[in-house]
Structure 1
Amino acid sequence: MSGANDLMSCLGSADPSITGAGCALRRVLNAVGGKWKILLLVALSQDEELRYGELRRLVFGITNTMLANSLRELESDGLVSRRQYDEMPVRVEYSLTDTGRSLIPILMELKDWGEENL
């Protein structure tokens, strides 16, 4: 029953759109939406920590600008953590936070649905 209540709270928003700004579904889409963020999350799930260049190789077609922007946004939303080491040359590694890691099974379900239906 909670699912129906959640949907009603989205649809019953004072916002004139179908799902209001306070809707959890809208917040999720804002956090993982776009062409690259889901692919980056899945790539990060393949290892404990990955460097920028490794992510660039794993996510085919992403530009440096989109990679940097997407990582910054994912970090800001608490899904990815960034660790910079005090060494030369500078070494930076990215990893999923616990929150980001909890999203991976859901993304894999979405992938499975896509394989079956699209």
Structure 2
Amino acid sequence: MPNPANRFHSWIYRKRADVNCIIHTHPLHTAALAMLEVPLMVSQMDTTPLYDDCAFLKDWPGVPVGNEEGEIISAALGDKRAVLLAHHGQLVTGSTIEEACTLALLIERAARL
């Protein structure tokens, strides 16, 4: 049985025809930044692909098992490719698997910096 937490992915796919891949993880530095309720600050040149392309969801509703989370997360993401989820982790999107993987690595690097 698929993890019910993946349900919110379908909300993003429905709203964003340009999205073909979603990566949602809880890496150490990104999770630490998310715990501080601080938006991602892109301030180093290697992470510029995320400049003005990472949303921030300050009020994280909790365990994503229902439709409410899908509505909230997809609205917070808007037209950006990434979103930092306070007290949780990150979600990145891409038109390809490679693009999403690269952004997932970059958001962790930016949080670490």
Q: What's the TM-score once normalised by structure 1's chain length?
A: 0.26
Structure number with higher relative contact order (C-alpha < 8 Å, ≥ 6 residues apart): 2
Over alpha carbons, which structure has the higher Rg? 1
TM-score (norm 2): 0.27
Task: Pick the structure with more strand per residue.
Answer: 2
Structure (1/2) with the larger helix percentage = 1
